[in-house]
Structure 1
Amino acid sequence: MNLAEGVQIVAFGLLAIMMLGTALGVVLLSNIVYSAFLLGGVFISIAGLYILLNADFVAAAQVLIYVGSVNVLILFGIMLVNKREVFKELPGTWLRKGATAIVCVGLFALLGTMVLSTPWSITTVVAPLESSIALIGQHFFTDFLLPFELASVFLLMAMVGAIILARRDYYSDAPPTEKTEPPVFSLQERPRELLSVGSDRPQDRV
């Protein structure tokens, strides 16, 4: 093993630990803002794995699209909608948590079995292409044009929905036809009992 292979193995280990740690933080943390920030760490670590695979364009797209736009969009949506409210615990929470744990363990076992059963040894050496940008652009605008456009539409719908939910508090529940008059400020009157007791003039006494 030469120096370049050692550096690649160490970088892969660090990126894998970073990805797993931030992914667990996204799931386990109760603060949704911290989870959104850690999701950006997951995207960055995946971009680092793409760089190790010599997919420079995919790594740059990962940082620009997922970290620069999707994660920022999620943070804007959370900060527009997030309110400090006391939520009551729903009955049967342990049943939902147990079902979620079973599904997660099943997915982990399935992915682990796939990783162990896949032959990872490279038998043939493939000559690297000069640039994959033209090939990726061709696939984006031919084979994957519909998913590419649908993803942008869904992101736009999510942003508009977050703005509508955030603006709802600024409107009152009263019908638009009713006119609410501004409150009239007035000074409080002095009690008449104090006036009659404190007055010594005979014309003030009845």
Structure 2
Amino acid sequence: MNLAEGVQIVTFGILGVMMIGAALGVVLFSNIVYSAFLLGGVFISIAGMYLLLNSDFVAAAQVLIYVGAVNVLILFAIMLVNKRQNFSPLPSAGLRKIFTAIVSIGLFALLSTMVLATPWANSAPPVAGESSIVLIGEHFFSDFLLPFELASVLLLMSMVGAIILARREYIPDQLPASDLPQTILTLPERPRELVSTTNNTGDSNT
């Protein structure tokens, strides 16, 4: 093992530990704002993994889209919608935690089995000189065109829903009826100051 392979292994270990620690913090922290910040750490760790795989375009897209757009949108939604309220504990909270733990352990076992059963050594190495941007563009507009368009529609629906939730408190249930009818496209007239008659007579005498 040469120096380059050793650096790659150490970098992979650091990124893996940072990713797992940040992911556990997202789940275990009681403050949802801290969880959102740690989710950004998970995204950055994944971008580092992409750099180790020589996928520079995917790593840059990971940082720009997920960290710079999605994570910031999540933070804005949390800060706009979240309220400081003391929630009463649910009677079946313990049962839900047990069910969540079972599902999480099952998913972890399934992913671990998939990782161990996949023949990684038999995978084809990347072709030298072949740009990843060209390959991604070809797959986006040929094989994955429908999922790409559906993802854009889903993001648009999420943005509209976040705007509606953020503006829900500012929309009154019933608009107050005005006592005086107002004419459309008219502005209230400004009061005019009356000129005193003494000044006018004094000016005329002079």
Task: Name the TM tier (shorter chain).
Answer: 0.7 to 0.9
By how many angstroms is 1:123 displaced?
7.5
Asked if residue 36 in structure 1 is aligned to residue 36 in structure 2, the reply is: yes
Q: Which residue of 1 aligns with 2:10?
A: 10
SS in 2 for 1:168: coil
Q: Does the CA contact (< 8 Å) of 1:80 and 1:163 recur in 2? A: no
Instruction: Structure 2 unaligned segments of length 5 or more: list them.
Output: 180-206
By how many angstroms is 1:43 displaced?
0.7
Cα deviations across residues 102-140 of structure 1 (Å, max 9, x unaligned)?
Answer: 011111112222222333335865533431211211211
By how many angstroms is 1:179 displaced?
4.4
- Say what the alpha-carbon RMSD is for the aligned residues: 2.0
Question: Aligned equivalents of 1:32 and 1:123: distance in 2?
Answer: 40
Q: Which residue of 1 aligns with 2:202?
A: none
- Larger relative contact order, structure 1 or 2 (CA cutoff 8 Å, min sep 6): 1
By how many angstroms is 1:61 displaced?
1.1
SS in 1 for 2:120: coil
Question: Aligned equivalents of 1:37 and 1:58: distance in 2?
Answer: 21
Cα deviations across residues 141-164 of structure 1 (Å, max 9, x unaligned)?
Answer: 222222222222222222222222
Question: Aligned equivalents of 1:165 and 1:142: distance in 2?
Answer: 36
Deviates more, 1:155-164 or 1:45-54: 155-164
5 Å matches for 1:134-145?
134-145=134-145
Question: Aligned equivalents of 2:54 and 2:88: distance in 1?
Answer: 49
Q: TM-score, normalised by structure 1?
A: 0.80
Q: Does the CA contact (< 8 Å) of 1:19 and 1:46 recur in 2? A: yes
Letter in 1 for 2:144: F
5 Å matches for 1:80-91?
80-91=80-91
Q: TM-score, normalised by structure 2?
A: 0.80
5 Å matches for 1:44-193?
44-122=44-122, 126-173=126-173, 175-176=174-175, 178-179=177-178
Question: Aligned equivalents of 1:126 and 1:96: distance in 2?
Answer: 45
Question: Aligned equivalents of 1:157 and 1:79: distance in 2?
Answer: 19
Cα deviations across residues 40-59 of structure 1 (Å, max 9, x unaligned)?
Answer: 11111011011101111111
Letter in 1 for 2:113: T
By how many angstroms is 1:82 displaced?
1.0
Q: Does the CA contact (< 8 Å) of 1:77 and 1:159 recur in 2? A: no
SS in 1 for 2:85: coil
Question: Aligned equivalents of 1:123 and 1:159: distance in 2?
Answer: 39
Question: Aligned equivalents of 1:124 and 1:114: distance in 2?
Answer: 18
Cα deviations across residues 22-55 of structure 1 (Å, max 9, x unaligned)?
Answer: 0101111111111111111111101101110111
Letter in 2 for 1:176: L
Deviates more, 1:6-15 or 1:113-122: 113-122
Letter in 2 for 1:112: S
Question: Aligned equivalents of 1:27 and 1:116: distance in 2?
Answer: 25
Deviates more, 1:138-147 or 1:76-85: 138-147
Letter in 2 for 1:135: L
5 Å matches for 1:22-33?
22-33=22-33
Change (3 A) 1:98 1:38: same
Cα deviations across residues 79-99 of structure 1 (Å, max 9, x unaligned)?
Answer: 111111121211111111100
